[in-house]
Structure 1
Amino acid sequence: MATHPDPSGETLTERQQAVLDAVLALMVEQGGDLTMTAVARRASCSKETLYKWFGDREGLLTATVRWQASKVRAGNYDRQRLDAFALRDSLIRFAANWLGVISSPTSIALNRFAIAQAGARGSNLGAIMLANGRFAIGERLKPVLDAGREAGLIAFDDTETAFRTFIGLVGRDVQIRLLLGDRLNLAATEIERDAARATDQFLTLYGTEKTAPGRNPTNA
Structure 2
Amino acid sequence: MTDKKDDLQAKVPQALSPRQSNVLEQALRLLVEGGDRALTTASIARAANCSKESLYKWFGDRDGLLTAMVRWQASKVRVVPLARERLDAEALFSSLEHFARDWLLVLSSQTSIALNRLAISHAASAKSALGDIVLSNGPVAMAARLKPVLIMGKEAGLLFFDDVDEAFRTFFGLVVGDMQIRLLLGDRLEQTDAKVIRDARRATKQFFALYGAQASAD
Instruction: Determine if the TM-score, normalized by the shorter chain, exceeds 0.5.
Output: yes
SS, match of residue 16 in structure 2? strand
The alpha-carbon distance between structure 1 residues 62 and 9, as it changes in their structure 2 partners (threshold 3 A), is closer
Q: CA RMSD in A?
A: 1.6
The 2-side partners of 1:144 and 1:211 are apart by 19
The gaps in structure 2 that reach 5 residues or longer are 1-11
Larger helix percent: 2
Question: TM (normalized to structure 1)?
Answer: 0.89
Match of 2:7 in 1: none
- 1:123-162 map, 5 Å: 123-162=128-167
Alignment: residue pair count: 205
User: Partners in 1 of 2:211 and 2:118 — Cα distance?
Assistant: 36
**CA shift at 1:165, angstroms?**
0.3
Distance 1:74 1:186, change over 3 A: same
Shift of 1:125: 0.7
Residue 210 of structure 1: how far off its partner (Å): 8.8
CA distance in 2, matches of 1:56, 1:45: 16
Aligned partner of 2:77: which letter?
Answer: V
The separation in 2 between residues aligned to 1:69 and 1:172, in whole angstroms, is 18
Equivalent residue in structure 1 for 2:196, among 179, 186, 191: 191
Q: Distance in 2 between matches of 1:75 and 1:121?
A: 37
Per-residue CA deviation, residues 108-149 of structure 1 (Å, 9 max, x unaligned), is 111110011112235211001111111111111111100000
| Distance in structure 2 (CA, Å) of the matches to 1:53 and 1:9 | 7
- What is the 5 A alignment of 1:1-220? 10-33=14-37, 34-209=39-214
Q: Which runs of 4+ in 1 moved over 2 A?
A: 209-212
Alignment identity in percent? 59
- CA deviations on 1:17-59 (whole Å, 9 max, x unpaired) are 1100011001101112321111111111110000010011111
SS of equivalent to 1:77: coil
Question: Aligned partners of 2:107 and 2:97: how far apart in 1?
Answer: 15
Instruction: Work out the CA distance in 1 between the residues paired with 2:209 and 2:126.
Output: 44
Equivalent residue number for residue 5 of structure 1: none
User: 1:70-111 deviations in whole A, cap 9, x for unaligned?
Assistant: 111122321222100001000100000000001111111111
Counterpart of 1:157 in 2: which secondary structure? coil
Deviates more, 1:118-127 or 1:196-205: 118-127
CA contact (8 A) 1:84 1:211 kept: no
With the length of structure 2 as denominator, give the TM-score of the two structures: 0.90
- The answer to whether the Cα contact below 8 Å between 1:84 and 1:210 also exists between their aligned partners in 2 is no
1:211, 1:88 → 2: CA distance?
Answer: 16
SS in 2 for 1:118: helix
* TM-fit CA distance, 1:209: 2.4
Q: Give the 3 Å change call, closer, same or farther, for CA 124–32 of structure 1 in structure 2.
A: same
Instruction: Name the SS of the counterpart of 2:29 in structure 1.
Output: helix
Query: Are the aligned partners of 2:24 and 2:69 in contact in 1 as well (CA < 8 Å)?
Result: yes
